[in-house]
Amino acid sequence: MGNNLVDSVVPSLVPLVGEPWKFPYNEGNPLIVAVEYWYFGDDSGTHAGARWCVVSGYIGTAKQWDRLRRDWRDILRRFHVEEFHSTSFFQGRSPYRAWGASKRDSFLSKLIAAVNQRKLRPIGTIVDVETFNNYTLGERRVLTGGAPSLNGKLLTSGAPKNPYFVALQGVIAQATLRVSDESTVHFILDSQGALENRVHETFEEIKQRMVEKHRSKLGNLTFAESKKEPAVQAADLNAFSWSSFKERGSTLLDGRRHTALWGLTAKEDGIQLITKTTMEGVLNQQGPEARARMQGQK
């Protein structure tokens, strides 16, 4: 019986994300079957009061990421921008404050094109924070990675105050489906400060509890500073765009936010929404007695 979000979400995602990749980088060569991928991700909506929590980014080979870094840095250099951060850009803060509309539009379109011209596949998860917060402490522990034993006690505690860990598990689940059994995925996430130890622990706990078919695909997890890593900046643009869409709705997106979201999702959106239905599925898999104990932990 599955006992965490990854165990539960992996089978439920199959009809949504389709079959594993057909090795676009070595198609036609049946001797090359093992591919190493890197997933760069960022988060949005992790602040207090956020309605939706997003972890999203892109997965690709080292070759594709090297090309993206080269193009991204070139764009920033030509526009005299040291580091791209979506919040600063879309809110018109420095260094964009004095830019005219034409320059802002040109800059954004070039960043979108830099992502889209590479063989990078989007993967992301959006969590309904209000629904998450309505669960009891015990239920939220399980949803964020806590693993109950047969006697109902938690082997691991989860992170019941932070829906980020629900989204993270969703991303890991999608990644295991997006690559073949012979491939490996490494995860590089935006720096999380004090949370990084808990993220590492959650990742290792997930690996230990996953069935071998999926566990064998998971490589390492580490963090990178956005200022030094263009791939994280690209993930930030994706995460911010989805967060804006969920917070505002498509009809209230301003022109550039609309351009960003639809430009980045023109080929594939790669997003998975974790709703009450998904969470209920995870919790009900624990069995009625365990669920009752969870509900008793306020």
pLDDT digits (tens, 9 = 90+) for 147-165: 765 555 666 778 899 999 9
pLDDT above 70: residue 24: no
Q: Which of 100-104, 106-110, 281-285 has the lowest mean pLDDT?
A: 281-285
> 101 or 33, which is more confident?
101
pLDDT above 50: residue 26: no
pLDDT above 70: residue 78: yes
Task: Give the Cα separation of 228 and 267 in Å (integer).
Answer: 27
DSSP classification of residue 56: E
- Among residues 19, 2, 7, 8, which one has the least CA distance to residue 178? 19
> 167 or 153, which is more confident?
167
- Among residues 184, 91, 201, 105, which one has the least CA distance to residue 145? 201
Q: What's the whole-number mean pLDDT along residues 169-174? A: 93
Identity of residue 184: T
Q: What's the whole-number mean pLDDT along residues 78-103? A: 96
How sure is the predictor about 32, in pLDDT bands with cuts at 50, 70 and 90? very low
pLDDT at res. 271: 93
pLDDT above 90: residue 14: no
Most confident of 47-51, 78-82, 206-210: 78-82
Topology of domain 5-16+36-295 in CATH is Nucleotidyltransferase; domain 5 (3.30.420)
Domain spans, the chain: 5-16+36-295
Residue 230 burial (CB count, 10 A): 25
Q: What's the whole-number mean pLDDT along residues 196-211? A: 90
> 241 or 154, which is more confident?
241
> 247 or 200, which is more confident?
200
Q: What's the whole-number mean pLDDT along residues 45-52? A: 91
pLDDT above 60: residue 174: yes
